[in-house]
Amino acid sequence: MATELRGAEDSTADRAEAAKQKRQERAARKAEEAPAREIRHAVPAEERHCPACGSEDLKPLGKGRTSVVYEYVPARFEKQVHVQEVLACACGRGVVTALLRPGWWIGASTAPASSPTW
């Protein structure tokens, strides 16, 4: 009797693990298929100077710093790709990165305030 119960528990645990794996695969697939929108964050004009030497001779340093946020828009998810501009000074000692507005990931949703935002 005990072995029969243990066998039933094992098969229940196996089914639960298989269901969990299937949900994770579906979530990963949906995340990849989500429509993407790129949001660029530029360094403001008043901050376009080298912190080391004060020069304004700044050049882009690569493509920028990228952050990905998934936002729930009613009836679908949207993938937001935030790209922060990164500038390097000709002196080689200073780098300036565009700041994201404070709390950019909080309250970005268009969902009502009473909705959970996780």
DSSP 36-52: EEEEEEPPPGGG-S-TT
**Cα separation, 117 vs 29, whole angstroms:** 21
Mean pLDDT of 45-54: 89
Residue 34: φ, ψ to 5°: -60, 140
**Cα separation, 84 vs 60, whole angstroms:** 11
The reported pTM is 0.54
Q: How confident is the model at residue 22 (pLDDT cuts 50, 70, 90)?
A: very high
> Which residues, in sequence order, are bridge partners of residue 87?
60, 96
**37: pLDDT strictly greater than 90:** no
**Cα separation, 78 vs 57, whole angstroms:** 37
**118: pLDDT strictly greater than 80:** no
Tokens 């002196």 found at: 91
Computed over every residue of the chain, the mean pLDDT equals 78
**106: pLDDT strictly greater than 50:** yes
Mean pLDDT of 89-111: 70
Q: Is residue 104 packed enough to be buried (19+ CB in 10 Å), middle (13-18) or exposed (0-12)?
A: middle
